[in-house]
Structure 1
Amino acid sequence: MVTGAALPVLAPGGDHAVATVAGAAALKDAAQSYTATDAIRATISARGSFAATTPEEIKETHARAAAAAIAAGMPLSSAMDIPIADRVVMPMADGSYSFTDGFGAARPGRSHLGQDFAAGIGTPINAAMKGCVSRSTESYQGYGVTIQVESIVNGQAVSTVYSHMKNGTRAVEVGDCVEAGQYLGDVGSTGYVFGSCLHFEVHINTVAIDPLPWLRDNVS
């Protein structure tokens, strides 16, 4: 059996199978009040005397706006509209993982802020809900290959984090927007981790919570 145990703690800052409600059963509200920065939107959304119109231009515009906001230490919502997620799914397909270290597990000088889904290297990871990508990197501190997605769920600002992914498998970049169940990348063993797993975190209004009860209450 493949096992995984993630070590680090993350401070909050897209045609594969999607888990079903049965997977959720096994687990048996104000949004972040950020004001959009019009200067960032205006500066990045226009290119010369015209606005982005093609899908490629729009994607580039989103990426530039997101990068500018994050570089300025601002939330992604200051540069683009964060979508409302109308459904939540498990981040991995039923039967493809087992739960190992959970929220609050002891770590040297800290506690574990997520839930580990132990699985073989190369197992697909999916977005838990609709949202926009605020982090996508091949190396983030002890988290290794990491993607972070910003969403609005039940009126709350929710960040989901996907870490220890396999190098070279990230399918989304900062500024991309994803749908629930969209492929993000593959399970790996990058960063500070024993074995291979998905380290999954949920932050509500920047505060980390136990992902399993939240998934139990929201997966549909």
Structure 2
Amino acid sequence: MITGVALPALNPGADPVSAAEGVSVTTAASVETQSYSSTDEIRAEIAPRGNFSATTPQEIEETRSKAVAAAISAGMPLASAVDIPIADEVVMPMAAGTYSFTDSFGASRPGRSHLGQDFAAPVGTPIRAAMDGCVSRSTESYQGYGVTIQIESVLDGRSVSTVYSHMVNGSRAVEVGDCVKAGDYLADVGSTGYVFGSCLHFEVHVDSTPIDPMPWLSANVK
């Protein structure tokens, strides 16, 4: 029987930003990435989209990459540089039969509670995007969370940020600014960061507020 208990010993939630303010946030995941350095909070902000003057596919991609790099380095939300897609479906972050549930949302942690749901699975089990979105975090070293990817999406008119952690070093298939479809491969289950056993630590933040992923998945996965 595979077991996995995530123990990220940090307070993820400095000051997340959202498109629709009015939600009080006490926790959200913090991170220092390798690919950029801006602020330390998990952000799920929907902001005005960037405008590109390039015309050829190569020019468009080059301009887009520069816009993403400039926005992130200036501490701006990803949505200020790229279109955040509107998701029309939600899938489980791992295929049926490849995992078992371990620590759930709200489990006790030193000084705080667990902010996600753990999916215990063997090292190397594929992890996939829960919905269409664009990558705002992609790092090999995320403090207690280990190898982590964060994806920004819009679902039912609300900003949704999904976080995938404890993955295998070197398995990340996406970088900041990349946009993915629901079900796209992201990385492999690992045991990086503060964790006993191998598992995917999966978080969902709606309008910057961390919520229990299980009721959200039950309500949205068709």
Alignment TM class, shorter chain as reference? 0.7 to 0.9
Cα deviation, 1:31-68, whole Å, max 9, x if unaligned, reads 5474427xxx46xx45xxxx1622x5544433332232
Query: 2:47, 2:77 within 8 Å by CA — same for their partners in 1?
Result: no
Structure with the larger RCO, 1 or 2 (CA within 8 Å, 6+ apart): 1
In the alignment, what sits opposite 1:138? 140
The 3-state SS of whatever aligns with 1:93 is coil
Query: 1:59, 1:175 within 8 Å by CA — same for their partners in 2?
Result: no
With the length of structure 2 as denominator, give the TM-score of the two structures. Answer: 0.81
Cα distance in 2, alignment partners of residues 144 and 182 from structure 1: 21
Spell out the pairing of 1:97-116 with structure 2 (5 A cutoff).
97-116=99-118
Q: Identical aligned pairs, as a percentage?
A: 70
Alignment RMSD, CA only? 2.0
Higher mean alpha-carbon deviation, 139-148 vs 61-70, is at 61-70
With the length of structure 1 as denominator, give the TM-score of the two structures. Answer: 0.82
Structure with more of its chain in helix, by fraction: 1
The 3-state SS of whatever aligns with 2:135 is strand
Q: 1:84 to 1:141 in 2, by over 3 A?
A: same
Query: 1:62, 1:176 within 8 Å by CA — same for their partners in 2?
Result: no
In the alignment, what sits opposite 2:48? 36
The 3-state SS of whatever aligns with 1:180 is coil
Cα distance in 2, alignment partners of residues 207 and 163 from structure 1: 18
Cα deviation, 1:60-89, whole Å, max 9, x if unaligned, reads 433332232222222111111110000000
In the alignment, what sits opposite 2:5? 5
Cα distance in 2, alignment partners of residues 133 and 32 from structure 1: 20
Query: 1:189, 1:196 within 8 Å by CA — same for their partners in 2?
Result: yes
Aligned pairs, number = 194
In the alignment, what sits opposite 2:176? 174
Cα distance in 2, alignment partners of residues 123 and 57 from structure 1: 37
The 3-state SS of whatever aligns with 2:150 is strand
Spell out the pairing of 1:143-158 with structure 2 (5 A cutoff).
143-158=145-160
Give the aligned residue type for 1:84. I
Give the aligned residue type for 2:48. A
**In the alignment, which of 125, 128, 149 is matched to residue 127 of structure 2?**
125
Deviation beyond 6 Å, 4+ runs, structure 1: none
Cα distance in 2, alignment partners of residues 105 and 205 from structure 1: 22
Gaps of 5+ in 2: 22-45
Query: 1:160, 1:202 within 8 Å by CA — same for their partners in 2?
Result: yes
**In the alignment, which of 46, 50, 53 is matched to residue 56 of structure 2?**
53
Q: 1:175 to 1:81 in 2, by over 3 A?
A: same
Cα distance in 2, alignment partners of residues 105 and 78 from structure 1: 35
Cα deviation, 1:111-157, whole Å, max 9, x if unaligned, reads 11000000000000000000000001101111110000000001100
